[in-house]
Structures are given as structure tokens and as C-alpha cells.
Amino acid sequence: MFSASEILSKIRLGQLTALEVTHACLNSIYSTDNELMAWAHVNRDFAIERAKNLDKLQSEGKTIGRLHGIPIGIKDIIDIAGIPTTCGSPILLGSIPDNSARIIQLLEAEGAVIIGKTVTTEFAFMNPSKTKNPHNLDYSPGGSSAGSAAAVAAGHVPITVGSQTNGSVIRPASFCGVFGLKPSAGIIPRVGVLETSDLLDQIGVFANHIEDLTLICDVLAQYDNRDPQSFSSCRPIFQNGLNLKKRADPIFGLVSFDYMDNLDADMKAGFDKLVSSLGNRVQKIDARPFTSTFLDAHKIIHEFQIFQNLGHYLKSNSNELSAPILEALERASIIQNDEFRKAVMVRNEASKFFENLFSRFDVIVTPSALGKAPLLSESTTGNPVCCTIWSLTGLPCINLPLLLGENEMPLGIQLVGNYTADEKLIYAANWLLNFIKKENHDNSHLSDK
């Protein structure tokens, strides 16, 4: 499939129509999704009618938007008027919102074609979804944005939208071998999106090309005072980060945490080789003493707030909840307010800790996951620990699909930027992609996309 940027160019030149692009995506979905199961709901008639209207506008010489004719998939925790929002749970079957989320309004205002809803894990938590990994159907795509990552990897659509509270964008992007970007918390508004944790929930996006991530994030980066985490200062211009001219090589921080001792052999070998190739561009920091403190704070905040938002289901619908979420809600029911406040204090301290570190380097380079995707038979979405601390602090993260592991399964490298320095993060990511191409690394460990 063409990138979204290529599709836009071809539509503007009259070489493609929005309707042709939409039909191609729908045909791809209908031909493979019976096995893959990345989609919760495909709104075929709406998408076709939308594409026809966009083509009509263009034929009349009217201005077209930044996403004119681009098919996009939306994680099924995000409201679209007239389309069910089930959040991966039978409890919400038949729940059809009257209004669209703010990000849907932003996408449609720029000409996007919303194809439908991608599968999420139950309430965007840890219970595995039905979706499979496009690289090997025996493997998990990760979670909770399982369908969003898998749909892009399968070539169903060029861009999808997901969310991350722990590791739900970067981890599935790594497992499915696609680019995934979680911008700084507060840049993209969450109005009309399932709330599990006000302090931790963040919107992210998936694509097969880095320029497509920047394209959509520049559309979604808007202030909305209805979102308590949204801020009113200027947003970064993501696409500016793609310009490599007249900029110094980035300096990478290698921050060690205890969990990095658990990397599988392929991830460790590939990551070590990449770091070695960067030479003196890497500054090493040992943050092991803080590992458990930061991870524990995330767990307390996440479970305390998920209980605030979903705890009522323990009384009304407990028989329709999975074991993982039941257990989490029951654990959370005994967390005291004082424990939560202390965890929030640790979160603030962690943010200051990393802000100080970024005076020494531009971005952090770290694995996106401990290793390749787990087998479906293991009944897990994989360990999110490589993402947890960045979700706690709201720092921007990008997955780069650079490595391959056992059975040719993808492994991702994660870059983490300073808060609201998303443009610098994109620059470092694009620089690294070009650096790898020039270095011509061994494809068994480093393969560019």
C-alpha cells in the first residue's frame, strides 16, 4: 500500500480518487480479516459515501484538507457518532454514541475517511483480544491497541489511531513491525475517549511510514479545555522534525533500568549492536535505583483510577468481566487515597528526574519490548514494562521497526523524547533511520523499512 503522503499526492494530481483508495482498503480488509480479526466494526457504506463526497468536492475545485481521502482506523474506545463503541466488552454491546470524539471531528475536518473501529482489549486493559499478528497468526499483536497495530501491519489502512495507558501503542507497534508514536501527554485531546486513568491515558498513532505519523499528529495536536490534561501553549510541528538539513547529529541517552536484564537474546543482541554502532553519540545513565519506585507508582495510579472509572461494573456486571480486570479492580478497591497521593508525588519526581537528564542528551534509546510477541497460546498481550515509565511521565515515544527476532518476528527500538520536545524526537528518529541505511547493518539484526 502507498503511504498516506503518497496517496495525498496522487489524489491531488488526479492519479487516484478517494473512492478508489477506499475500495482498495475495504477489499484488503474483507479478503484477510476473517483470519486476522483486527476490526470490530467496518462501516462500509459510510466510508464509500464519504469518499464519493470528497471526490465531488475536489471535482468542483474546492479546497481539500490535509488528510483528503486517507482511510483511517479508530480504536474501539473512541466515540464515532452512530457507530458502536464497545471497548472490547460485551457489557457495552449496543452502545452507540450520539457525538463523535474530538479527534474524530479533527480528522474529518481535514478530509479523512473513517473506515471503522479496530479491536481493543477489554476496556483497554490486559486481557488478550481476538486479534492475531499479521506476521504469524500463531502470535499475539500485543495490546491494548491490538487491532490498530495489526490493521496497519496487514496493509488494511495506511494509518490507525490507538491509545496508551501503559504500553498499548509502542508494544503492539513493536510486535507487529510498524511505526507507532505516542506524543507528549496533553498534546492530543481525549474528549470522547474511554477514560481509564486521567493521569495516564494518552492517544497514539500507527503507520508504516514515519512521515504518516507526523501528518496525522499535526492534525490531532489541538487544545481542548474539556480535557484536564490538555494544555493551551503552542504545539510542536511534527512534520518539521523530518527535515535533516543543517542540524547536528542527535545525542542518545542509554538509561539502564532493572528490567533490561530480562531482554530476550535477540532483542539484547540487536539493541547492543545498534548502541555500539552509535559510538560516542551515546551517553550512559544508570537509573536502576529508581526502577521499582517508578513502576510501583504507575501501577497504583493506574489501578486506583481504573477503579474510579470502571469499579461500578464489579457490582452490576461482574459476571461479564474477565479475570484480569476483575483481579485489578479488586486489588484497586483497597488502595487508599494516601497511597495514590504518594504515587502521584513519585510521578512528579520522575518527571523532574528525566527533565534534568535531558540536559545531557536529545533522546533516550531503549527497547520497545523485552522481546518478540508472545504466542497466542500463552494468553497474554506481553509485558509492557519497557513502556511503563514513559507512560507514567507522559514523555513522547516512537517505535522504530528495526530488528528481527526468532521466526522472523519483529522487534522494535523505542526513542523517548523530553516533554513537548516531540519535534526533536521525530528528528532523532528520522536521523536514526537514515543512519542505519547508510551504515548498511546486517539485515539479520537491523533491517530498515
Give how far the C-alpha of residue 101 lies from the chain's centroid of Cα atoms, to the nearest Å: 17
247 — pLDDT class (breaks 50, 70, 90): confident
Q: Residue 63's pLDDT is what? A: 84
Closest of 36, 40, 267 to residue 133, by C-alpha: 36
What is the length of the chain? 449
pLDDT value at residue 441: 47
Q: Compute the mean pLDDT over every residue in the chain, rounded to the nearest whole number.
A: 96
Q: What is the helix (H) or strand (E) element at residue 153, kind and residue range?
A: helix 146-153
3-state secondary structure of 103: helix
Q: Rounded to whole angstroms, how far apart are CA atoms 212 and 155?
A: 14
* Residues recognised as catalytic: 75, 144, 168
> Angle at Cα 355 formed by Cα 352 and Cα 357, nearest 5°?
110
Instruction: Specify the pLDDT at position 317.
Output: 95
- d(CA 315, CA 75) in angstroms, rounded, equals 27
* Mean pLDDT, residues 200-220: 98
Q: What is the mean pLDDT of residues 379-392?
A: 98
Question: How does pLDDT run across 331-354, given as a tens digit for each residue?
Answer: 999 999 999 999 999 999 999 999
The pLDDT of 237-259, averaged and rounded, is: 94
Q: How far is residue 99's CA from residue 96's CA, in Å, rounded to a whole number?
A: 9
Set of cell numbers at residue 123: 476496556
**Mean of the pLDDT values across residues 54-58?**
97
Inter-residue contact 16 to 7 (CB < 8 Å): yes
φ/ψ of 415, rounded to 5, equals: -110, 140
Question: Model confidence at 159, in pLDDT bands (50, 70, 90)?
Answer: very high
pLDDT in tens, 3-18: 999 999 999 999 999 9
Laid out side by side, the sheet with 410-417 consists of: 39-42, 113-118, 71-75, 159-164, 202-207, 179-182, 397-404, 410-417, 363-367, 252-256, 282-286
Mean per-residue pLDDT, 308-314: 95
Phi, psi of 294 (to 5 degrees): -70, -45
pLDDT at 61 over 90: yes
Average pLDDT over residues 378-386: 98
Strands (E), 223-289: 252-256, 282-286
Angstrom CA distances, 370 to 126, 212, 258, 273, stand at 17, 26, 12, 16
- Give Cα separations from 234 to 183, 185, 231, 352, 390 (angstroms): 14, 14, 9, 21, 22
Angle among Cα 4, 252, 269 to the nearest 5 degrees reads 85
Q: Are strands 282-286 and 252-256 parallel, antiparallel or unpaired?
A: parallel
With cell 495514590, the residue in question is: 340
SS3 content of the chain, % helix, strand, coil (to 5): 45, 15, 40
**Residue 389 cell numbers, joined:** 515509565
Return the number of other C-beta atoms located less than 10 Å from residue 35's C-beta: 11
Q: Which three cell numbers stand for residue 385?
A: 514494562
What are the backbone dihedrals phi and psi of residue 135, each rounded to the nearest 5 degrees, phi first? -75, -25
Residue 440 is predicted with a pLDDT of: 57
Q: Are 214 and 234 in contact (CB under 8 A)?
A: no
DSSP secondary structure code for residue 334 in this structure: T
Cα 241 to Cα 254: distance, rounded to the nearest angstrom:
21
Whole-number percent of the chain with pLDDT over 90: 94
Smallest CA-to-CA distance from 188 within 236, 117, 148, 143 is with 236
> Comparing C-alpha atoms, which of 22, 111, 12, 21 is closest to residue 65?
111
Q: Which of 267, 294, 296 is nearest to 395 (CA)?
A: 294
pTM above 0.85, yes or no: yes
* Mean pLDDT, residues 190-210: 98
Give the contacts of 216 (CB within 8 A, at least 6 positions apart): 4, 67, 72, 107, 159, 161, 205, 207
Residue 34 has pLDDT above 90, yes or no: yes
Cα 136 from Cα 141, distance rounded (Å): 9
DSSP β-bridge partners for residue 371: none
| pLDDT attached to residue 94 | 85
19: nearest Cα among 66, 61, 68, 62: 68
Q: Average pLDDT of 74-91?
A: 97
Section 394-410 average pLDDT: 97
